[in-house]
Structure 1
Amino acid sequence: MKKESGMLNYQVSRELKTALELIEEIVQQKDYKVIESQDILLSIVSTIDTGAGHALGRSSITRSKVSKEIAGGERVHTRKPFVSKIDPESFGSRGLIRDEKREYKKTKPVQLAKEKSTGELLKYAGDFPISENVKGIFDFAEEMRLQLSPDGVLDSYWLLIGSVQDEECNAFYIIEKQMLLFDRFFSGEDLVDCFPVRYNLAYEYSDGKAAKELATKQAQSKRFTSKLENPDYSILEDIATDITEQACAGELMAVVGREKEIRQMEIALTRRDKNNVALIGPGGVGKSAIVDGLALKIVNGEVPSLAGKRILQFSLNNLWSVISEDSKNGILRFIDEMKREKNIILFVDEVHMLGNVKSITDAFKPLMARGDFRLIGATTPTEWRLYIASDTALVRRFETISIDEPSVDDAIEIVKTIAPAYETFHQANYSEAALELAVRLAKKYLEGDKLPDSAFTILDNAGALVRIESNHSVEMVSKYQEKLDRLREELKLAQAIAFNEDEVERLRNQMDVLEQSFQKDRNQLSSDNYTLKILPEDIKRAVEQKSGKTVQEYDLYVGDKGMSLENARLLHLKENLNKKVIGQSHAISAVADAVIRSKKGFSNPKKPIGVFLFLGTTGVGKTETAKVLAEELFGSKNDMIRFDMSEYQQEHEVAKLIGSPPGFVGFGMGGQLTNAVQKNPTSVILFDEIEKAHPKIFDILLQVFDDGRLTDSMGMTVDFTKTIIILTSNLGTNAVRKDKAVGFNRVQNPELDAEIIRQKTLEACQEFFRPELLNRIDEVVTFEPFDQEEVLQITRLLVEEEIDHIKEQGYQIRFTEEAIRYLAKVCYDPENGARPIRRGIMRLIQTPLAEKIISGELQKNSQMEVSVSENQLHFEVIG
């Protein structure tokens, strides 16, 4: 009990609170404006579902009887004691006096004494003070609550017990007379024994017992087994979401460019038998959006054959969670519903899960064959193969519709249609060039994702970047959150008020309406003119942030300008490659020609862009050419997928490329080659030192070279048509080294003779590789050895790289021409090509610089010159 501002605040039950609220009206009808015990009694028996009312009702004591007794009572200052007329000394006087007293109490009006006021108010009971007797009754009840149920509330039954234990209060005499009149077992003595203090009785006569029993029955009725007993219960309405209803409410966005697929669905769904559809496509291509598009067309009356149909979406997990308590009868009820409801089309996302629930699948198959209900399922090709394809009977029930990634042009139209929704959200306008660029860059740089989802990701990221940098909040979200926070605060205050469920429910309904309104506004396709603008450079930053790659300058232009830049880049491709790969003009020309043919559509679209075999001695640039080609064509050296074939020398290691077969460790994880290409389908694939691989590897490569695809151990087909495949080999180099000078016409150093190298390597290649492999290679390129001038050019390139690297460390360094020539001369090794130059730079440049930094001779931001003095490199700090 708390005392707040002179008001007694007991923790009462809901029913007792209602009873106390009646007291003010009762007291107003009295001359004595004090709440007395009889007022409490009358309010309790006037309130539905009080424990005290129930206990009194068992003795036929009702509100009208109590009210009549109070109205007929005699107001006295002091109660007159009962005086017997029988001589107490006479025989049998005791029993006679008891009978006389009982008859006196039954016939005489109840004497209602004026109970003294305490001057204190009782919460919920208005502005009238309570009497000392009422205060005592409530204090007794509060003590009983604390002793027997400290976490509970004060029930009216404890007030009843407190009243019958207080022989000074008016309520005691009213209850006593009523018991004498209507309870045939009450003798007129020991009234307190009629209402014993026992915990089980206190529970039986607790306030709100009827409401609790009703709530228990309702909770039991919510159990699935109880729901099944209700003939009006619908499993579909319980677990499904009505997509057509969402379409009517404007909660779905428009669908663009999928007229063909929607038409196919319409035809399949209106068939007599097997009218079920499976939408099969990779994630992000818009399978669920196509179903939304069908719902919109049904609502707009654009599909007369499906007029009046409802599309209900649910997951098999939801179905199973509902019927798991009684799955057998649950499935039967579900089937009965679907057979009865001819205007319902079910949409099951992740429909492959049917393969995991055989009991549901077996029940569905006959119904699907007879056309008893329509079903639209959506899943990916991989999951369809893994879980559904093996069940041929189930597959035959579906009309499979392949949902492919839309073309770039179609994706641009989709993006332009949906872009206003993103503009409204970010309060920024996308330029038309930005929208088109988002699609093209998403297609090229987000290889693992599919259009149009990947393009929307870029648009969203670009909008977020611009908005954050401008310190703009999302106005739509801010207003929604502000209203939601206000409602939550009101809800919190409402919940703090006892017995305020109606207000709590009203506020929760307002929160639901607010959320629905937000979703509707979020999907609006009407935009406005905003201050913030999202331009192509913002799209570029969003792509780089998402992909981790640098977007090439020529990729930033679309339309005719983009095409002209692409042509210019291809025109200068050989020149650019020759600048980075020295001395291999023949190899560069062959690779560049293949790329140009592919880019302009003259190569076979079902094969890789080019398949090359690079032959030659070590260190002549075979691997470097692959790296430069990846950087020049795809934007980064990271777009090269490299496999060291010395790691695949055993037969069982073939599985590492395409994945382990079923039953072996690693099954289901895919292969190193297939996973890498699936993640980055536009790349250079380098098989380094291919001659070291097991011959079984070549059988796999035959399929890739010929068909441009490869199927991994899980049955997933990976596309290689956008890749360049390079094989490198050192075959024949040992024969070159063993070809010593014999006779007058032989050269002394065969490692420098390009013709000898070409002859020996080609001979070794033809002896080692099977003809069917060689015939599938577009060109066998022999890398020529470097002469002294080419070594000097390579040295310059490597020195420039070293200067940039040293600059990143905070030091400035420059080389004289003599120093570069000195490095080229000292490091030149005809047998090992350019590799000794890198080792020479490490030994002759990096080591001395490190020593000078340690000694303190070279400080941060200082400049050093490297020259030649006395036939060795000289290091001098010049600033």
Structure 2
Amino acid sequence: MVPPPCGHGHHFCNGNLPTYSMNIKSLNITKHHLYPIVVLDHILSHRTRHSVGRFLDVSIVILFFATIVSYGLKFIPFIDALYIEQATMIAPKIMGLLLVLISILLFIIILELFFRFSYFEEHETTNEPTFDVLKILYTATDGDLTKSFIQSAAGEKILLRCGIPTTALQTEFLAKRSGILFDAPFPEITDGPFTLSSLVLFLLSVDEEFRTFIVRGGIREPDLVGCAEWVMRQNALAKKQERWWSHERLAAIPGIGKDWAYGAAFTLARYGKEIVERYDTYASTMSLKDTAEVTSLERILARSTGADAIIVGLSEAASMDVVFNFARSIARGIVTPELEGKKIFVLDYNLIVAALHTKDEYETTMITIFEEAINAGNIILVISNLPAFLAHARSLNSDVVTLVEPYLSSGRLQAIATIDMDNFHNVVEQNAVLMSQFEKVVVTEPSEAKMVPILERVAENLESRNPVFFLYSAIDEALRSAENYLPDGVLPDKAVSLLIEVVPQCMQAHKVIVDRSDILTLIKTKTNIPVGEIQTAEREKLLSLEQFLRERVVGQDEAIKVTANALRRARAGVRNMKRPIGSALFLGPTGVGKTETVKALADLFFGDEKAILRFDMSEYQTADSLERLIGFSEGERAGTLTKALKERPYGVLLLDEFEKANKEILDLFLQVLDEGFFSDMRGKRVSARNVIIVATSNAGSEFIWEAREQGLEVSTMKDKILSKIIERGVYRPELLNRFDAVVLFNPLGEKELAQIARIMLQKLQKRLKEKNLELVITDDLVNAVIKHGTDPLFGARPMNRAIQEKVEQAIAEKLIRGEIGEGSQVVILPEELI
């Protein structure tokens, strides 16, 4: 039994293998209604018939003119009699050959008609192999079904889309395999046709050699099945285009003089553009009759009154896609009779803004456009980006809603407006006239099963224009990466943009095959997030993260371990993509390395320690703090966090003094830490899934100091310290549990302070080296810095100030006095640090 497809459209996914009730031998394919054309296609393939037909067409035309010339020479007076005699002799032979070729062509045409009508014949029973599968079964004469699949045209296409060339299959697989025999079990087909994707999964389940070869080649099972479904769709489209007698193909043939029955619209033609079918964009690849939005739009516009619609999408582009698909359905004649022959004109907003500068000019022109659209009799007017259209009218002190209302309410004007979801709530729902005149059509995001075919057609279109070849893995990764790493925009638009952008990247690298790694390289370039295959140098760095961190963070082994493990998990790609990259709460006294750890984290993961979005949560303690963070409900003022994440959606989000934040903000981060997003003041999602969230806090510092003074290891007291923090009501347990890790930072001892002082002096040494000065770092200098820059309450933080006010000051004075100059060694004695 063949189970129905899963969410991806794949049969047998998630380990659901078929039940076997017969073997391949018991399949009597001769009874299949497509068996005759399978035999025909095996003897004389579809491609061969077409090639022979084209050759015969050309030959017949040439022989036809040759026959006319040979018989017509005798009627030309100045032609030599010898030529006329020779032409008369060969004329019957040419005529005979012409008739033979015509007979052969007629035979080929009859065969092709037999093939097409048999192939497209409707049958009630679909529980049987499809044509492509039947061809593979027919050629499996040696008992090796896998070999037959690989050597078939469909199998070759499938494996090429996986990135496996035919030569590799011949030399590395077929030459060494033992083969499956005809007594292998075959699934009983009861739940729909047995397609190429079903066959692929069947072969993977019964042929261990084939499965091993695929896995070793780095091909994922869903990718192989996806390739099969891609080829199935390509074959179905090719066959559909050959079905010239179908209603859709015949209806698409334009009539003669249809436009003569309708009036002209010269002003509208000046300020608008007619939509014609867009074969060059992904929008034209969507299934029209299965698109609920197009069906709803057709139903509304087919009415005699109230035939006006407003399309509400996640974005303006998504709304316009529905309009383009609707125009395509009109062009192909697959709409109700009331809409046949309609033309769709989109008002060119930019042209209107550029040309109309006064209220009178604007209103006169708009009235003329409305009247022309009505008088023409076959025009549907589209107002794209309705908020911008209304805003321009308001800038001229014109009430365009009042202007257009009589036309809409009378039912004489058919109009479509497009708008995104946010503006619909803010603009249209607040206007009673617009709500009463337009019926809403909501555009939902397509399912993954619908988006994959869209991306495949985009890839095919790009292949036809550029010297590239897309593997299925690139399509799959574009969809995944667009969803995971590109928070702005909607699908499939974001994924389409990735496919378009990756082409010049590959061409610049002189690469023809576009695979998963190319999409990931593009993502890395756009986001600075390390993705893709881990190379040797990076692998060594990841395995030695603790060493790198210890060079910057002193005396915090637990923090280093937690940070290193979090980075490795994130880079390995095993994290939950629906949450932030990572999250941690750093607890400890001031000046012990919490912020330095965050900087090291940003540097290691994002390649820049400046990739930090820093918020001082002590500034968000008042009642309006939440609004200041996410945005004010009244007005268009965006919140600081909302703005920061939209401008820089990739990096480390540092929340300093987290315990001081307003309770509402702590509640907000319950959701952010768990789901990776929050809603701004307009209800729009703001993603935090591509940031590492680190909250620092001094909460519990006194308990940490207490443990240290008692000679206890702070890490062993973690549970007790956290319990005391919860008892005091600083943090709720559910908030602490949302963090991937809660890390306690130890107070610094003399040994750690000396290491930190030396590291800070080395930074100064590096800066002076750029000025051709060599600072000599001595133990005495280190001890002097510790003496002047240590405070038990503030840890190592005062050291920077001590170096600046004492060491740098002493160096500056030496330079001014001329005691040192370029190329000098700089030695600072402790007594000079007054």
| Counterpart among 608, 611, 618 of residue 646 in structure 1 | 618
| Counterpart among 663, 675, 681 of residue 695 in structure 1 | 663
Equivalent-residue separation in structure 1 for 2:824 and 2:333 (angstroms): 76
Report if the CA contact (8 A) 1:323-1:330 is conserved: no
| Counterpart among 310, 313, 320 of residue 280 in structure 1 | 313
The amino acid across from 1:713 in the alignment is M
Indicate yes or no: 2:364 matched with 1:347: no
Aligned to 2:810: 848
Aligned to 2:414: 373
Secondary structure in structure 1 of the residue aligned to 2:807: helix
Report if the CA contact (8 A) 2:384-2:418 is conserved: yes
Secondary structure in structure 1 of the residue aligned to 2:443: strand
Deviation at 1:386, TM superposition (A): 1.6
| Counterpart among 697, 708, 711 of residue 679 in structure 2 | 711
Secondary structure in structure 2 of the residue aligned to 1:398: strand
Aligned to 1:804: 766
| Counterpart among 240, 249, 270 of residue 298 in structure 2 | 270
Deviation at 1:619, TM superposition (A): 0.8
Aligned to 1:401: 443
Equivalent-residue separation in structure 1 for 2:436 and 2:549 (angstroms): 55
Equivalent-residue separation in structure 1 for 2:437 and 2:762 (angstroms): 62
| Counterpart among 261, 274, 285 of residue 242 in structure 1 | 274
Residues 640/415 of structure 1: CA separation in 2 closer, same or farther (3 Å cut): farther
Aligned to 1:76: none
Deviations 1:249-302 (A, max 9, x none): xxx85437962689635434433456746262447x676577667767876x59
Secondary structure in structure 1 of the residue aligned to 2:738: coil
Calculate percent identity across the aligned residue pairs: 25
Secondary structure in structure 2 of the residue aligned to 1:241: strand
TM-score, normalised relative to structure 1: 0.50
Indicate yes or no: 2:282 matched with 1:255: yes
Equivalent-residue separation in structure 2 for 1:872 and 1:411 (angstroms): 72
Equivalent-residue separation in structure 2 for 1:269 and 1:632 (angstroms): 52
Equivalent-residue separation in structure 2 for 1:329 and 1:844 (angstroms): 76
Report if the CA contact (8 A) 1:275-1:398 is conserved: no
The amino acid across from 1:398 in the alignment is K
Equivalent-residue separation in structure 2 for 1:413 and 1:632 (angstroms): 39
Indicate yes or no: 2:595 matched with 1:612: no
Equivalent-residue separation in structure 1 for 2:592 and 2:326 (angstroms): 60
The amino acid across from 1:708 in the alignment is G
Report if the CA contact (8 A) 2:313-2:443 is conserved: yes
Equivalent-residue separation in structure 1 for 2:454 and 2:376 (angstroms): 37
The amino acid across from 1:679 in the alignment is E
Equivalent-residue separation in structure 2 for 1:439 and 1:612 (angstroms): 29
Residues 653/266 of structure 1: CA separation in 2 closer, same or farther (3 Å cut): closer
Equivalent-residue separation in structure 1 for 2:542 and 2:285 (angstroms): 35
Structural mapping, 1:358-369, within 5 Å: 358-359=401-402, 362-363=405-406, 366=409
Structural mapping, 1:508-587, within 5 Å: 561=533, 572-573=544-545, 576-587=548-559
Report if the CA contact (8 A) 1:616-1:761 is conserved: no
The amino acid across from 2:587 in the alignment is L
Aligned to 1:682: 650
Report if the CA contact (8 A) 2:346-2:383 is conserved: yes
The amino acid across from 1:310 in the alignment is K
Indicate yes or no: 2:707 matched with 1:733: no
The amino acid across from 2:596 in the alignment is E
In structure 1, the gaps of 5 or more residues are 1-229, 424-428, 467-528, 531-535, 740-745, 875-879
The root-mean-square deviation of aligned C-alpha atoms, in Å, is 5.6
Deviation at 1:644, TM superposition (A): 0.9
Structural mapping, 1:221-232, within 5 Å: none
Deviations 1:592-647 (A, max 9, x none): 54555556665554433344322111111222222222232233233221111221
Indicate yes or no: 2:816 matched with 1:859: no
Secondary structure in structure 2 of the residue aligned to 1:651: coil
Structural mapping, 1:381-396, within 5 Å: 381-390=421-430, 393=435
Secondary structure in structure 2 of the residue aligned to 1:784: coil
TM-score, normalised relative to structure 2: 0.52
Equivalent-residue separation in structure 1 for 2:456 and 2:809 (angstroms): 55
Equivalent-residue separation in structure 1 for 2:596 and 2:334 (angstroms): 59
Secondary structure in structure 1 of the residue aligned to 2:618: helix
Deviation at 1:404, TM superposition (A): 8.3
Residues 761/855 of structure 1: CA separation in 2 closer, same or farther (3 Å cut): farther
| Counterpart among 682, 686, 691 of residue 723 in structure 1 | 691
Report if the CA contact (8 A) 1:753-1:785 is conserved: no
Equivalent-residue separation in structure 2 for 1:823 and 1:412 (angstroms): 64
Secondary structure in structure 1 of the residue aligned to 2:586: strand
Indicate yes or no: 2:386 matched with 1:314: no
Equivalent-residue separation in structure 1 for 2:669 and 2:523 (angstroms): 37
Q: How many residues get paired? A: 541
Stretch deviating more after TM superposition (629-638 or 671-680): 629-638
Residues 362/291 of structure 1: CA separation in 2 closer, same or farther (3 Å cut): closer
Aligned to 2:631: 659
Deviations 1:638-678 (A, max 9, x none): 3221111221222133321122232xxxx302100111112
In structure 2, the gaps of 5 or more residues are 1-261, 392-399, 512-516
Structural mapping, 1:106-145, within 5 Å: none
Residues 633/782 of structure 1: CA separation in 2 closer, same or farther (3 Å cut): same
Equivalent-residue separation in structure 1 for 2:711 and 2:793 (angstroms): 9
The amino acid across from 1:386 in the alignment is N
Report if the CA contact (8 A) 1:313-1:348 is conserved: yes
Equivalent-residue separation in structure 2 for 1:845 and 1:417 (angstroms): 65
Structural mapping, 1:14-25, within 5 Å: none
Deviations 1:134-184 (A, max 9, x none): xxxxxxxxxxxxxxxxxxxxxxxxxxxxxxxxxxxxxxxxxxxxxxxxxxx
Residues 596/748 of structure 1: CA separation in 2 closer, same or farther (3 Å cut): closer
Equivalent-residue separation in structure 1 for 2:585 and 2:420 (angstroms): 36
Residues 571/542 of structure 1: CA separation in 2 closer, same or farther (3 Å cut): closer
| Counterpart among 605, 629, 632 of residue 633 in structure 1 | 605
Deviations 1:414-459 (A, max 9, x none): 58855998x8xxxxx99999x9999999999987678369769978
Indicate yes or no: 2:594 matched with 1:622: yes
Equivalent-residue separation in structure 2 for 1:413 and 1:872 (angstroms): 76
Secondary structure in structure 2 of the residue aligned to 1:725: strand
Equivalent-residue separation in structure 1 for 2:811 and 2:481 (angstroms): 43
Aligned to 2:89: none
Residues 595/589 of structure 1: CA separation in 2 closer, same or farther (3 Å cut): same
Report if the CA contact (8 A) 1:442-1:458 is conserved: no
Stretch deviating more after TM superposition (561-570 or 393-402): 561-570
The amino acid across from 2:387 in the alignment is H
Secondary structure in structure 2 of the residue aligned to 1:660: coil
Report if the CA contact (8 A) 2:267-2:369 is conserved: yes
The amino acid across from 2:603 in the alignment is E
Residues 358/851 of structure 1: CA separation in 2 closer, same or farther (3 Å cut): same
Report if the CA contact (8 A) 1:613-1:780 is conserved: yes
Equivalent-residue separation in structure 2 for 1:607 and 1:541 (angstroms): 22
